[in-house]
Amino acid sequence: MKRINAVILDWAGTTVDFGSFAPTQIFVEAFRRAFDVDVTLAEARVPMGLGKWQHIEALGKLPSVDARWQAKFGRAMTAGDIDKIYATFMPLQIAKVVDFAAPIEGVVDTIATLRAQQIKIGSCSGYPRAVMEKLVPAAAAQGYAPDCWVATDDLAPGGRPGPWMALQNVITLGIDDVAHCVKVDDAAPGIEEGIHAGMWSVGLAVSGNEFGATWEEYQSMSPQEIATRREGAAAKLYAAGAHYVVDSLAALPEVIADINARLAKGERP
């Protein structure tokens, strides 16, 4: 039967950590501790979704960060510099990630709804395995436990925006067709990951990195500010190739119903 059999979910900003603050704050701290270079939270968000070493590399290439780095050291960032920042980042992230393990509002109920439809729950992350080994049990203790997970350093070819983590989920879950999978993410590299894997890709415009607000900040925002932020986030996710963009994972069952109707007509991603 042509229907969605699996969803493959990102972690921070998609299922846990509303606003994706655990990784972004640590990047700022790691640059400061390792080299006393200032990086803003907005800058730290730009490469979100990549593996963390690659994230640091991309962050160092941002014109604003590169200018500060060049002014301080008289040269561009090197691979050795990235290694030092990464080595600083990892223990900070491992220690902090459990504080951001609570499922986002609506996630637990949505997962229950999907499982009632015999949809399998896969997941992958830009976090390396050492971080995921702390995050996964912490999230499970608060009600969210996918059927499998893949870390960004698990596979030899690498992580996002390549398709490999998503495809490893297909293998582990035993899904018969990539077109029967939905990849859900709050950042552009994760959307591209799903597209490259041949899946339906769904972006989340409010709960994650592109919107960039805590749950409390979101709750206190004016409708106009929410609409402005949502529009900007959705534009980035659609530009990355998203087939659908919704606010949060709570809207996924409606999206899947629409995709199932399209699959029944013979459509593919």
> Which residues have CB under 8 Å from 36's CB, separation 6+?
72
Tell me the backbone φ, ψ of residue 128, rounded to 5 degrees.
-75, 165
DSSP string covering 29-41:
HHHHHHH-----H
Query: Is 154 one of the catalytic residues?
Result: no
- Please tell me which residue in 52, 120, 183, 247 is annotated as part of the active site: 52
Q: Which of 193, 207, 197 is nearest to 240 (CA)?
A: 193
Q: Which of 138, 130, 133, 79 is nearest to 103 (CA)?
A: 138
Work out whether the CA dihedral 232, 199, 112, 129 comes out positive or negative.
Answer: negative
Query: Is 10 one of the catalytic residues?
Result: yes
Question: What is the three-class DSSP state of 168?
Answer: helix
Structure tokens at 242: 């998203």
* End-to-end C-alpha distance for the chain, whole angstroms: 16
For tokens 């495809």, what's the residue? 167
* Rounded-to-integer distance, Cα 160 and Cα 125, Å: 9
Helix H or strand E encompassing 200: strand 200-204
> Residue 116: exposed, middle, or buried by beta-carbon count in 10 A (0-12, 13-18, 19+)?
exposed
- Please identify every residue annotated as catalytic: 10, 52
